[in-house]
Amino acid sequence: MTNKEKLQDLKKYISSVYSKKERSLILSAINNYEKKLVKKSEIQIPVSIFSQTLTPFETIVKYLYENHSLNFSKIGKFLGKDRQVIWLTYKRSTQKKIEKFSEKESKYFIPLTNLFSKNLSIAELVVFYLKKNIGLKNIQIASLLKRDSKTIWTHYSRALKKKGTKKSEIFGTPKNKLRGDSR
């Protein structure tokens, strides 16, 4: 049972037990708590929601709007985008995929805080996180994100370039340097 469901159950219980005046005070306090509960650092994005029909950015926007009930302004603040861009992205995503994402069990989750960058795309951030923090291989990431492994390699390579990280710093010394080649 999620925190949201627990709060809903608590609200129902309070409505049935307390008087109208007490109920309004308690429910007001719960609503204030509920607003504070939704913070960027607490939101985890399940990797299982990614699909071929939506772009990673559309997926994140649709998921945050429908599953976390965040408004477009708040989503925009979290992702560093304008409210109108978020609205347009959501509108486009609903034309491609009408149904809400299911909260099915996902093996991997990405904190929303890891999906914000002025330089990197959402796809690059997702791939970089799964490879660097979780240690998955390209083929595993491709399977999870329902993309080709060459596409995953491209996203990871671009993320490294944009972050200014050399592949040799991540993967160790290149083979030609070990052999003594001067190339």
Residue 15's pLDDT is: 83
Tens digit of each residue's pLDDT (9 = 90 or more) over 107-164: 899 998 888 888 899 999 999 999 999 999 999 999 988 899 999 999 999 999 998 8
At 46, list the tokens.
């399940």
Residue 6's pLDDT is: 75
What pTM does this model have?
A: 0.66
Residue 84's pLDDT is: 95
Asked if residue 74 lies in contact with residue 83, where contact means CB atoms within 8 angstroms, the answer is no
What is the rounded distance in angstroms from the CA atom of residue 32 to the CA atom of residue 19?
Answer: 20
Question: 70 by DSSP, 3-state: which?
Answer: coil
Residue 80's pLDDT is: 86
Residue 89 has pLDDT above 50, yes or no: yes
Question: 99 by DSSP, 3-state: which?
Answer: coil
Asked if residue 166 lies in contact with residue 173, where contact means CB atoms within 8 angstroms, the answer is no
Asked if residue 123 lies in contact with residue 52, where contact means CB atoms within 8 angstroms, the answer is no
